[in-house]
Amino acid sequence: MAEPVRPYATWVEVDLQAIRDNVRWVVEQSGVAVMAIVKADGYGHGSVAVARAALQGGATWLGVARLEEALELRQAGFQTPILLLSYLSKAQMEYAIQSDLVITVWTAEQIEALEHHSSRLGRKAQVHLKIDSGMGRIGVLPQDAQTLARQLAHSKHLLWEGVFTHFARADENDPTATNQQLERFRFALEQMRAYFPPTLRIHAANSAAILTRQDALFDMVRLGIAMYGLHPSPTCPLPPSFKPALSWKTVLSHVKSLPPGEGISYGHIYTTRTTERIGTLPVGYADGFRRWQGNRVLIRGKKVPVIGRVCMDQCMVLLEEVPEAQAGDEVVIIGKQGEQQITAEEVASIWGTINYEVVCGIGKRVPRVYLNA
């Protein structure tokens, strides 16, 4: 029987309807504006396609980490407000201003530099002020926020449009840390309130806080991991209607029987015990499939173990549970096949990490195929 024709050795399928539906739920339930976070190439799903689906689902803002990510969206035709959530060098400031991006600031020096570039360009830069309420990352401390608020309020060349913070532990059952952060953030807001412009937008809630903290929704929420149908943490599950958007697939490229005592892959850490059917998959650590013991994939609706060391471009599986498997069969790394499923969370558990890192780590050379576009 001829092998089915498959266009790729390994590929990711992204269901854009799942993105739309997940966003729509948050829009309807939160009752505030939604910023879709599409940094890291849309958490590995593809930023342009995800951004389009998110806006169709009701999001009105986009958020990214790097200037390059924002410029990719602008070049794709997006006119939506885009917030740069992280560091922007002085050399990049004029590009951001000219591209009508919203810039995060947290120091007097940044504000002065933006003043200079905005004045030179004759164009006002849009800024959001970041408060570090307990993340220990970028942001002005709450007790120092008033000084920057005064500076922004008196600026001639900047448009102060927002203020925000980020929660470090909103995905945990114990609310103590988030309560403290929220208290600190509210303190900063009160200290700055006299300097607020009339249309200032306040935001704090990430995916976990959207699901668990009605008191942290403010004027806008930032929807990241949950938009992709992935839970923020094992202790912060998603509503039942949320669906994972991503599946990762490959094929059986070769099947052979090997006698007892044959070593498999580099270092021969696996040796055949009896005559065994071994399959080869054209996916490896260069694609983001980690060189880790305990990996499993789905073949013909059953979970089968990856054996030996994962190579750069290939790996091997034991076909003992699926003796009928043939070259050309579809293989699922993440997703459903028949009655079985392997989730990004399951893969993360094997790799000793989180679902975010699993999907963000799928390599650029793995094509993204979009469903329900």
Residue 27: what are its φ and ψ, rounded to 5°? -55, -45
Structural contact between residues 327 and 252, judged by C-beta atoms closer than 8 angstroms: yes
| Chain segment 81-125, per-residue pLDDT in tens | 999 999 999 999 999 999 999 999 999 999 999 999 999 999 999
The dihedral built from the CA positions of residue 6, 12, 16 and 17, taken in this order, carries a sign that is: positive
Of the residues 130, 266, 303, 370, only one is catalytic, namely 266
Beta bridge partners of 127: 103, 160
pTM: 0.95
In three-state secondary structure terms, 163 is strand
Res 1: pLDDT: 45
266 flagged as catalytic: yes
Tokens of 124: 């006002």
Place of tokens 């070259």: 327
At residue 214, what is the residue type?
Q
In three-state secondary structure terms, 270 is strand
Structural contact between residues 87 and 106, judged by C-beta atoms closer than 8 angstroms: no
Tokens of 227: 């938009």
**Domains of the chain, earliest start first:** 16-228 (3.20.20.10), 246-371 (2.40.37.10)
Res 246: pLDDT: 99
Structural contact between residues 14 and 246, judged by C-beta atoms closer than 8 angstroms: yes
Which contiguous run of DSSP H or E holds residue 336? strand 330-337
Between CA 305 and CA 317 the distance in angstroms is 6
Low-confidence ranges of the chain (pLDDT < 50): 1
Of the residues 8, 39, 90, 249, only one is catalytic, namely 39
